[in-house]
Structure 1
Amino acid sequence: MALFAATGVAAALAAGELRAQEGGATRLDQIDVIGAPSQTPAAGASAQAGPVGPVDPRQMLPADLQGFAGSANRVSLQDLESQRPLTTHDALRSIPGVATVSDDGFGRHSGISLRGSPFRRSRKVLVMEDGVPINFSPYLDAGTHYTPPPERIESIEVLKGPLVNYGPLNNHGVINFRNLSPFGPKETVFSAAIGDTKGADKNLNNMRHVHTRQSVDNIGVVLSYSGLDAGGAWDVEKLGYNDFYAAIGIRGENQDITFSGGFHRQRDHYDEDNFSGTLSELRRFKRNKKRAADNGNFPVACGSCYDWNTYNADYFRGQVAHNYYIDAKTTLTTRIYGNHHDRARFYVSDESNDPPSDFVMEGRDRLYRNVGADSRIERADLPLFGGMTHTVQAGVRYEEHFFDNQNRIGDTNERLDFSNRGDDDGAQKLTAKSFAAFAQTAIKATPTLTLVPGVRLERYRIGFRDLDDSSNNGNSNYHQVMPMLSFAWEAMPDTTVYGGYHRGLSPHIVRDVLEADDGYIAPRKEVGDNFQIGVRTKAVQGFTFDVAYFHSDIRNYQFGEAFQSDLGDRVFSSLDKVRFDGVELSARLDSRAFISSPWNLYGEGAYTYVHSKIVKGTEEGGADVSGNEVPESMRHNANLTVGVQHDSGLDASMTWSYRGGFYTDALNLPMNPLDVEEGRVKGAWLLSARASYKVTQELTAWVSGQNLTDKFYITDRSDGAKLGIGRTVMAGVTYKFQ
């Protein structure tokens, strides 16, 4: 393969600028030192700026979102370096429409909400890493306890619609974490930090990270390691992971290929037992789970037993992505991918006789294996009648999912862990096969108006086998056609009105289909009609603004109850129809655009209002809950940041965040001070801050903290009241050189 040649582009590459080149625009992931941009004007233009995202499997959105036909946001590498997020949840706080809840302190057990969706385990959001879903299984069990470490992320993309090019789990939106690309500039980075979480037994938190990105001729390589050991919300929680990632990219004259993959090892002293009792008792014991358990405020009245409860996971993943630039107007991209996620949680049973001297441990042992292939093509700037042009994109995808779900139980006084999982106590095998196809075209109706019609087809088959009772076995087939129409209108220079409609699909959680006495019951599919209209502008230099109204009607809406079944698993209920109406807005103002100075004072804010309503439905006991709010849907969510930057390398800011209140049940029970495990969760204002200073060109010192006032608040009410993490501060250094 020959190296790309591009006269007149080297200066732009060296400066790291994104600017249009003759015949097209530089692609975001082609700014590097191993070759200039490929001679593919169409692929370059769609990746740089346009009404739709590129077909590139890594990049979901164009680099410049101004003319995009829908609601979308990006957390850039510059944002990540300025914000110094301790978690991926922190990194998303500036995105309107996004709300996060961390029930483990460091956001490892993912809790992301989009536009009012339930946050727990991010079950209603398609969460991707380099374009591949990291939900356990979008068709069988869409939760996730994993997101990539922020240290190896170069951007986060959020697409809220309209959309047909990604699915399922696309009623509320899609999030894509982009890893370090092997086609970036040469660099080696070392980063380390220590800190403290108030109320945790963990003496000292520590974070470490190293990555290198190197290239020879037309070959680029990334090697990355990240690790964390930290305290959690309860005193007994200790969170830890070791993460490895690698990628190799090869470029030729009209194609490139990337091999990437990684291994994530998670070992947490963590369980899902939470506080029951009165509010005064909760305030008395605060984050001391051991003393509260000995007092009878947890399912197991044995404080020392909670040291034995663990969550463990080994996650392997891999992907091969190939881009072929057929000609100046045609790009074909193909990838194959797979993952293997082995996770198990072990805990002391609340049916133990007399712990800790006489106890029994149980476990939830789950293995997910997914494989898939995806191919997409783009034909750009094709002639259409009336002098119009359009850009067509189409793609197909096939996936197979395998889910082994087992209960575990140990012998009397037998300690269970990841290497000793106990005896089988009920097992299920679940499978899914899915085929999806989409097509959309961006029609340039006028010089300022683009219309994007599209359609998506989802066909999938799920299989359920109860290994203890074959009479419960069953299979179900589903298909869904999902139309879309979006638009982008440049109402005035650098001001775009956007919006449209799309139908979305969220398959139901399958593992509890035996909750009824009738055996296997085919789970229903969740289908939504989603509308939005908005406007974004950067017409005034130094000021950006984006506001959108959205409306969703969703049928067969599944949600998780705030308690578990007798089998130790979370119960999922369904409502006939729910509705979400909301407004989201974001803005940023920088003083440097108005005043020539080495200082830049800036302010940015994001606010989301969601009015959720159960249009029709009954709760588990049969009561009519029509007119109530949707469980786990926050009405208000806000973030306000003020900061200062200086040319010397100083960057400091503080953020006031309002994590809104929500109901945890369809009955909308109020908060009960005599029993804090039921009822509404109150909203809370939280303060965070961060600062960094460039000591030398290579060395940066930084400090970051969350919940700096050490506010005592309930963050969730699932299997009891769960407290938010105490004041957490981390300080460290980052050393970066070529």
Structure 2
Amino acid sequence: MKQQKVAWASSIALVCGWSFAIDIHAQETDLPRMDIVGRGVNARSKIPGTVDVINQKQLEILQPLSLQDALKTIPGVNIRGDEGGLGSIPNIGIRGLNPSRSQKVLLLEDGAPIHPSLFISNASYYSPPVDRMSGIEVLKGASGLQYGPSNIGGVVNYLTKTPEQGLKLSAKAGNYGYQLAQIEAGAKSDLNGAIAGINIIKSESNGYQDNGYKMYDILFKGGISINQDQWLSLKYTHYDNNINTSYVGLRPNQYINKISSNPAPNDYFVTQRNAVDINHAWEIDADTKLNTLLYWSKLGRDYWRQSISARNADQTVFNACNGTANCMFGRNREFQMLGVDSRISHEYSAMGIKNALEFGVRLHTESQTNQMVASTSFAKSGRVTGHEENKANSSAIFAQNRFLLTKDFALIPGLRIESYNQTRNNILTEKNGSAKNVETIPQLGATWQVIPELQLYSSVYKGFAPAQLATAINEKGVDQQLDPERSTNIEFGLRGANSGFTYDAAIFSMNFSNQIVNQSLAAGITKANGGKSLHQGMELALGYVLGAGWSVNGNLTYIPVAKFVGSSSIGADGNRIPYTPDLTSNLGVNYQKNGFNSLVSLNYLSQQFPDSANTVKSNSIGTLGEIPSVTTVNWSTNYSINKSLKVFGVVNNIFNKRYISSRSPDGIFAGAPLNFQAGMSYQYF
């Protein structure tokens, strides 16, 4: 891959339903990284699945508080309500899959996994700040096979900013005590192509429910040209977040009476993460490229929660902390993950047919220290009452070949083989056990460029997600023979652009032979093999440049079928899968002229159920009951006063709509009320 300058332009075929018709002239030097879509102009057209990209200019217009706020503008993506920290704990679902802790979606940053682990516990407790991102890639369909595991719904790749020459200072403030300060500094060398920079963010808020947070994030990123055809990059990130949040939500009467105090004021979620990525790119010759990523991360998450003595319609009653009995419990976990992912691509001709081969190998190891700590006071220390040391290892290979059978039609078969083992070791009881599995995951995709303005694409592939360790092996060390999630997925779509009009439409089906689903329990977190289930739906995204600086864009996702199938399922035959709204949609109207941008956007989410029994009526403690539909409206604007100075602002939920965003894990979580932020940035060149 030759180092080159890339101009991101939103005039490319519809990007996630938000192609704001912005002419983006800014350029940046690329460092080697693992992209899931690619940087070439024709990268999207080579993928036999649905592709969505949000670039940096679109992020600046949207002004999202979190990556989840940006992702919910993409067709097929559903975000479950925020538990605290303004999106610090991600709950992302795709195409009707349960968004709980983003366990059905593979999350990457510059190609490296950012889940705490992939095989021990992939429940996500970390989301990097959106302010240090240059873009987001979302891949649905067969091409996600290259990146597994747990990619049945899709793959999300966050792209960090490349350092730029100079110094940039940014500051934002808003209601609910929101503050953010950011420093970006970078330098380049013309002698050896070296580039380096640092990005520092400090943010805090009191929270909508008096569940505030204090967050620090540091990103160092740099790279160098080793010689004419090799490049090396290094990235280090440090993240620290202390959130006054809990599993405990509001009880029904608290929600009705619009109580704004924290329902669990003594609970804290403390996260610290360090990570290093080393990426090497080598252009062996004009047709052959090798990209190797070495990644390491260490994440600690201490979740201190006050024990509950009773729940009723008015409140949650906690056990007193008076020094006599255990009242605070820390679910404290530390994860480490180390891996290497190397892939080679080669273009060649055989029997008169042009081919593009990609072959990859990934070696991965991870560990977890899992402790339960009991305390008789509010001090975040105490007696260890549970202690596990858990491990998992995996190796995977994949290969796919793109046969260009004609100049317009390509057939893309592929295969991934994933082998893994899991070990659970209880230190206190000395019970241990292990489980292992090998999965073979095939795919077949195709693209057909019917005319320059229209491309058809289709794929069929096997979906796979391993059973996580705590469910695969019980506390006594016995392998529960819990099957991995397996599904047969089919997708067919069309995309294109013509005279300011862009479109992307797809229909899809995910047929699970086994899905691990939440049972109908109050806590909403117990899982078991759910048996067969079926998801079928469609996505549509449209955009049109009206002229005179105006453009309109919209998308919708309709999933009429997301149901349990057969008597072996947890839910009754035909019951809807939890947290799968049948309709989500976005509409945006944008105006831009002479450095000024303004966007009014609307988001709609239909009703959904929090449990597999599809309980309609709310129970007395608020954990069950249908979640009504909701429509919210946001407005954002920014203005470049000159080359150096920019001002911006956003108002979310303009009409201050009161709504339930979730009933899980334990109670009602209200959606964000009207909130606003405003700020400015200054660039020193």
TM-score by length of 2: 0.90
Give the match for residue 378 of structure 2: 415
Give the match for residue 271 of structure 2: 313
The answer to whether 1:590 aligns with 2:537 is no
For residue 497 of structure 1, give the secondary structure of its aligned residue in structure 2.
strand
Equivalent in 168, 171, 191 of residue 189 of structure 1:
168
Give the match for residue 59 of structure 2: 80
Equivalent in 208, 211, 216 of residue 242 of structure 1:
216
For residue 511 of structure 1, give the secondary structure of its aligned residue in structure 2.
helix
Contact 1:545 1:586 in 2 (8 A): yes
Give the match for residue 545 of structure 1: 503
Cα distance in 1, alignment partners of residues 250 and 469 from structure 2: 28
1:703-714 equivalences under 5 Å are: 703-714=649-660
Q: Do the aligned partners of residues 272 and 675 (structure 1) sit closer, same or farther apart at CA in structure 2, a change above 3 Å counting?
A: closer
Q: Do the aligned partners of residues 453 and 56 (structure 1) sit closer, same or farther apart at CA in structure 2, a change above 3 Å counting?
A: farther
Give the match for residue 174 of structure 1: 155
Contact 2:532 2:569 in 1 (8 A): no
For residue 121 of structure 1, give the secondary structure of its aligned residue in structure 2.
helix
Equivalent in 320, 340, 364 of residue 399 of structure 1:
364
Give the match for residue 392 of structure 2: 432
One-letter identity of the residue aligned with 2:631:
W
Q: Do the aligned partners of residues 607 and 358 (structure 1) sit closer, same or farther apart at CA in structure 2, a change above 3 Å counting?
A: farther
User: What's the CA shift for 1:710?
Assistant: 1.5
1:323-342 equivalences under 5 Å are: 323-342=281-300
Give the match for residue 205 of structure 1: 178
Cα distance in 1, alignment partners of residues 209 and 363 from structure 2: 42
Contact 1:60 1:176 in 2 (8 A): no
Equivalent in 108, 121, 130 of residue 110 of structure 2:
130
One-letter identity of the residue aligned with 1:383:
S
1:346-357 equivalences under 5 Å are: 346-351=304-309, 353-354=319-320
1:685-724 equivalences under 5 Å are: 685-718=631-664, 719-724=666-671
The answer to whether 1:448 aligns with 2:425 is no
The answer to whether 1:487 aligns with 2:450 is no
Structure 1 runs (4+) greater than 4 angstroms displaced = 13-19, 30-35, 355-359, 512-520, 561-565, 617-620
Contact 2:425 2:477 in 1 (8 A): no
Equivalent in 89, 98, 104 of residue 77 of structure 2:
98
Give the match for residue 300 of structure 1: none
User: What's the CA shift for 1:735?
Assistant: 1.5
User: What's the CA shift for 1:625?
Assistant: 1.4
Contact 1:255 1:325 in 2 (8 A): yes
User: What's the CA shift for 1:286?
Assistant: 3.1
1:48-127 equivalences under 5 Å are: 57-58=34-35, 60-64=37-41, 65-104=44-83, 106-127=86-107
Q: Which range moves more in the overlay, 675-684 or 690-699?
A: 675-684
Q: Do the aligned partners of residues 260 and 377 (structure 1) sit closer, same or farther apart at CA in structure 2, a change above 3 Å counting?
A: same
Contact 1:74 1:158 in 2 (8 A): yes
Give the match for residue 459 of structure 2: 500
One-letter identity of the residue aligned with 1:433:
N
One-letter identity of the residue aligned with 1:249:
G
Q: Do the aligned partners of residues 355 and 14 (structure 1) sit closer, same or farther apart at CA in structure 2, a change above 3 Å counting?
A: closer
For residue 82 of structure 1, give the secondary structure of its aligned residue in structure 2.
helix
For residue 679 of structure 1, give the secondary structure of its aligned residue in structure 2.
coil
Q: Do the aligned partners of residues 520 and 714 (structure 1) sit closer, same or farther apart at CA in structure 2, a change above 3 Å counting?
A: same
Cα distance in 2, alignment partners of residues 212 and 484 from structure 1: 44
Contact 1:585 1:608 in 2 (8 A): yes
Cα distance in 2, alignment partners of residues 630 and 332 from structure 1: 42
Please tell me the root mean square deviation across aligned C-alpha atoms, in Å.
Answer: 2.6
For residue 591 of structure 1, give the secondary structure of its aligned residue in structure 2.
strand
Q: Which range moves more in the overlay, 355-364 or 248-257?
A: 355-364
The answer to whether 1:384 aligns with 2:361 is no
User: What's the CA shift for 1:553?
Assistant: 0.8
Contact 2:515 2:533 in 1 (8 A): yes
User: What's the CA shift for 1:32?
Assistant: 4.4
Cα distance in 1, alignment partners of residues 601 and 567 from structure 2: 39
Give the match for residue 555 of structure 2: 606
One-letter identity of the residue aligned with 1:88:
L
Give the match for residue 145 of structure 1: 125
User: What's the CA shift for 1:658?
Assistant: 0.9
The answer to whether 1:525 aligns with 2:525 is no
Cα distance in 1, alignment partners of residues 8 and 394 from structure 2: 40
Q: Do the aligned partners of residues 288 and 510 (structure 1) sit closer, same or farther apart at CA in structure 2, a change above 3 Å counting?
A: same
1:619-638 equivalences under 5 Å are: 625-638=572-585
For residue 461 of structure 1, give the secondary structure of its aligned residue in structure 2.
strand
Cα distance in 2, alignment partners of residues 469 and 354 from structure 1: 29
Contact 1:124 1:142 in 2 (8 A): no
One-letter identity of the residue aligned with 1:644:
Y
Give the match for residue 256 of structure 1: 231
Give the match for residue 134 of structure 2: 154
Contact 1:317 1:339 in 2 (8 A): yes
Cα distance in 1, alignment partners of residues 159 and 619 from structure 2: 44
Contact 2:222 2:235 in 1 (8 A): yes
Q: Describe the superposition over 1:106-151 as per-residue Cα deviations: whole angstroms up to 9, x where unpaired.
A: 1111011111111121111000001011111121211112122111
User: What's the CA shift for 1:633?
Assistant: 1.6
Give the match for residue 581 of structure 1: 536
Equivalent in 645, 657, 664 of residue 603 of structure 2:
657
Give the match for residue 14 of structure 2: none
Give the match for residue 422 of structure 2: 462
User: What's the CA shift for 1:187?
Assistant: 4.4
Equivalent in 340, 343, 361 of residue 328 of structure 2:
361
Cα distance in 2, alignment partners of residues 141 and 405 from structure 1: 11
Q: Do the aligned partners of residues 345 and 633 (structure 1) sit closer, same or farther apart at CA in structure 2, a change above 3 Å counting?
A: same
The answer to whether 1:666 aligns with 2:666 is no
Q: Do the aligned partners of residues 559 and 499 (structure 1) sit closer, same or farther apart at CA in structure 2, a change above 3 Å counting?
A: same
One-letter identity of the residue aligned with 2:241:
Q
Q: Do the aligned partners of residues 640 and 123 (structure 1) sit closer, same or farther apart at CA in structure 2, a change above 3 Å counting?
A: same
User: What's the CA shift for 1:495?
Assistant: 1.2
Q: Do the aligned partners of residues 562 and 706 (structure 1) sit closer, same or farther apart at CA in structure 2, a change above 3 Å counting?
A: farther
Give the match for residue 266 of structure 1: 241
1:637-656 equivalences under 5 Å are: 637-646=584-593, 648-656=594-602
Cα distance in 2, alignment partners of residues 687 and 542 from structure 1: 25
User: What's the CA shift for 1:513?
Assistant: 5.1
For residue 468 of structure 1, give the secondary structure of its aligned residue in structure 2.
coil
Q: Describe the superposition over 1:267-286 as per-residue Cα deviations: whole angstroms up to 9, x where unpaired.
A: 1111111123x4x5521143
Cα distance in 1, alignment partners of residues 486 and 6 from structure 2: 48
Give the match for residue 226 of structure 1: 201
Cα distance in 1, alignment partners of residues 415 and 651 from structure 2: 45
Contact 1:275 1:677 in 2 (8 A): no
The answer to whether 1:343 aligns with 2:318 is no
Instruction: Work out the percentage of aligned pairs sharing the same amino acid.
Output: 24
